[in-house]
Amino acid sequence: MGTIRIAAFHGGGIRGILNLPSVIELENAVGPLSEHFHFIAGTSTGALQATGLSQVNGSPLLSAEQILDIYMNRGGDVFDNSLKTAFKLAFNKILDQTADFSKTHSGKILNLGLHKRIKSAVEESVDLVIPHQKTKVDNLKRNAAKKTIGKALDYAFTHSEAIFSPALRDEFEKATDGETLSSSALEIVTDRVMRVGGLFRPKYNPDPLEQLVTEVTGEHKLSDVDSNLILTTYDIEKRKACQFKSWRARNADYAVFDPGLTPEDYDAYLKDILMGSTAAPTYFPPHLITNMAGETSPHIDGGMWANNPSAIALASARSIFGDHHNFLVVSFGTGETKHPYSHEETRHWGKLKWGAHAVEIFRDGQMQAVDRQMKYENNAAYLQFQTNMDQRDGDPRVDDVLDAASPANRQALLIRGERMKEEHQHKLDTMKYYMNQAPLQNFDELLAESKEKNENYRPEKDDVIDYMRELAAKQTEKAEVKKTDQPEITP
């Protein structure tokens, strides 16, 4: 009998910072965690952590230290809906479009300095709206700057007769999705206003997150992951809780497929799966995931049903190994929120108010249910790294909202993460000793042992279903026989 090891990373937005001091100490003591766990599971922000720590082409995508650097240095970009960022994203998009157009038509454009002239005008406008000094722009200056920006963005068109032929101007409009540059800027401003509070549109533009995720995963697909990785999402079109499992995508010998499906149906680009897993309702829009079979569907945050993925990871491991081994599940949490909602406060809430808090409440309830379940699982040891978000004496105040990503709060979360590590130091020391003394057992050997011991081992899902149907039929048959054996009662 061996031990199957599972690492599970919770969802929680910027609060993912909390578990990283513990993960870093463990990794520094034993080496890459992918070499010490048979399965790695993650949801939402935990999906990013789990993916980063998994092996691709023989080595982890990221170290735990690098993941912490991302949270500390880029977390503010992901959770940023300021007007400054909105303009920055708009300008970058427009400049990229004009640059691509200039490259494609460079031989036809009469004035080859066009792109530089537009860029210079736009940059001048940006300086007016957003000064390099960290001073607050008052409303009068901002309104004046908007007019200047409109003129700058229309620069190419006010001089189009001298620069473009009519045909080239039409092509330019097509290259910019049929919009004038000024209308694009106006749309960006409108979009920013509509995002306030997440009431009418998702609170954040997903572009910074997508850029970050793409930098981490590149063009790797789930099938490129060597580790047994589990990532969660929820398909809102099919109304289905989804688990993206790397061993299915790469067609491992122990993979089981639903009837009629192939490895391509379970495979997709990692960047798309991560965008789906982190698409928390009201914070980010649903993300379209296209699998390698060409099917596309919209997905939202896996935290809606599996914010703590420990239970589903254990179930996946049991489906492969049965119950002939022990299981060690190490769960890396992102803090337990304790903010109370009184009856007086909530008794008049409607859809709007409940919608603003529903994601948080769903997550907390699911995590509490899984924690209780995992403590009573047979032949499974459950080690959880978790902390409550109560104020600690001497520590800076921590805002526990999942998008509270100001520099001060990120630092406060890191300090709380160090406290969390101290609270679990004995547990951490035990794990370091255990993993250094007991190398990870060979996956294939453990699987062979399970098959040998389990006389009823059934690798195909259909066989199990057929068996259950036969059992149900026999029970029905016995019930009918028992009923006919009873003497008839005549009035």
**In the predicted structure, residue 484 carries a pLDDT above the cut 80:** no
Of 315, 348, 432, 396, whose CA–CA distance to 4 is shortest?
A: 315
Q: SS3 sequence, 80-100?
A: CCCHHHHHHHHHHHHHHHHHH
For residue 339, the model assigns a pLDDT of 79
For residue 191, the model assigns a pLDDT of 65
**In the predicted structure, residue 31 carries a pLDDT above the cut 60:** yes
The span from the CA of 358 to the CA of 349, in Å, is 12
* 20, 21, 24, 25: CA torsion to nearest 10: -150
**In the predicted structure, residue 8 carries a pLDDT above the cut 50:** yes
Per-residue pLDDT tens over the stretch 189-228: 566 556 666 567 888 989 999 999 999 999 999 999 999 9
For residue 463, the model assigns a pLDDT of 57
For residue 162, the model assigns a pLDDT of 44
**In the predicted structure, residue 357 carries a pLDDT above the cut 90:** no
Per-residue pLDDT tens over the stretch 291-323: 999 999 999 999 999 999 999 999 999 999 988
pTM here? 0.75
For residue 127, the model assigns a pLDDT of 54
15-31 average pLDDT score: 97
Which residues are within 8 A (CB) of 313 and not within 5 positions of it... i.e. 6 or more apart? 6, 8, 39, 41, 230, 329
Q: Contact at 8 Å (CB) between 1 and 31?
A: no
With bands split at pLDDT 50, 70 and 90, how would you rate the model's confidence at 18? very high
For residue 81, the model assigns a pLDDT of 73
In angstroms, the first-to-last Cα distance of the chain is: 63
Alpha helices in 31-63 (DSSP H): 45-53
Per-residue pLDDT tens over the stretch 150-170: 555 555 445 544 444 555 555
Per-residue pLDDT tens over the stretch 51-94: 999 999 999 999 999 999 999 999 999 998 776 666 666 556 65
| Residue percentage of the chain with pLDDT more than 90 | 56
With bands split at pLDDT 50, 70 and 90, how would you rate the model's confidence at 108? very low
Query: What type of residue sits at position 319?
Result: S
| Bridge-based pairing state of the strands 39-43 and 228-235 | parallel
| Residue percentage of the chain with pLDDT more than 70 | 69
**In the predicted structure, residue 444 carries a pLDDT above the cut 90:** yes
Query: What type of residue sits at position 108?
Result: K
Q: Report the b/e string of 156-177 with b at 16+ CB within 10 A.
A: bbeeeeebbeeebeebbeeebe
The span from the CA of 370 to the CA of 367, in Å, is 5
